[in-house]
Amino acid sequence: MRAGRTGGGLPGGARIEGMVLLHPYFRGGELVPSERTTEPGSLERAERWWAFVCAGRYGIDHPFVNPLAMAAPEWASLGCRRAMVTVAELDKMRDRGRRYVGALRASGWAGDEAVLYEDRGERHVFFLRKSNESDRARKDMIAAVASFMASSSSAEAGFSPSVRSLCSYDAKL
């Protein structure tokens, strides 16, 4: 977001073409549907964890951890043309990632596309764990991200049909 706020742009006329958020850690003070199925006390644990991470400087609804709390003009200042967000089907934070994509699309952001990719049957940041069970999903996600990065739009990316359908998904949760 900060790169989009600078009045004259980046040094040397550089620009940020796109961003990819892999299973982002978005939280907030109000539970979303995918979080309501978790164990009691999960919101309190998230609040304590976030307070630890930021040394108590920012609350759970600060835009650093809850971008949906940003004012509309902040969305417009996102300094890239394309965005991809990946979420995992079994991740309790998946609805926040979906909502991020929906909010980005509905905002005053001047970007060309916001893509949502969902890893079926996987948990939050499964790709960081060593597991043969997730090899196929890991390879599929890497291929989708690489394809997104190599193309100028998701239509050119050559995503599999399931990924293409997710690209047009509008989160209305």
* Maximum mean pLDDT: which of 10-24, 50-64, 125-139, 158-172: 50-64
Does residue 61 belong to any structural domain of this protein?
Answer: no
Mean pLDDT of 117-121: 94
* Token pair listed for 58: 């920012």
Q: How far apart are CA 157 and CA 144, in angstroms?
A: 8
pLDDT (average), residues 123-144: 87
Contact 18, 148 (CB under 8 A): yes
Would you say residue 153 has pLDDT above 70?
Answer: no
Residue 52 lies in a domain: no
Token pair 């609805």 is found at 95
Mean pLDDT comparison of 38-42, 48-52, 168-172, highest-scoring range: 48-52
In a domain, 138, yes or no: yes
The answer to whether position 98 is within a domain reads: yes
Token digits of residue 115? 């893509």
Q: Give a yes or no: residue 38 inside a domain.
A: no
Domain of 90 in residue numbering reads as 2-6+16-26+71-167
**What's this model's pTM, rounded to 2 decimal places?**
0.81
- 36 within some domain: no
User: Binning pLDDT at 50, 70 and 90, where does residue 164 land?
Assistant: very low
Residue 116 lies in a domain: yes
Q: How many structural domains comprise the chain?
A: 1
Task: Reply yes or no on whether the pLDDT at 170 is more than 60.
Answer: no
User: Considering only CA atoms, which of 79, 93, 156 is closest in space to residue 122?
Assistant: 93
Nearest partner of 98 among 158, 155, 35, judged by Cα: 35
Strands 80-88, 16-22: pairing is parallel
Task: Please check whether residue 76 is in contact with residue 110, taking contact to mean a CB–CB distance below 8 angstroms.
Answer: yes
Render pLDDT for 62-109 as a digit per residue (tens, 0 to 9). 999 999 999 877 888 888 899 999 999 999 999 999 999 999 999 888
> pLDDT value at position 173?
35
Position 44 in a domain: no
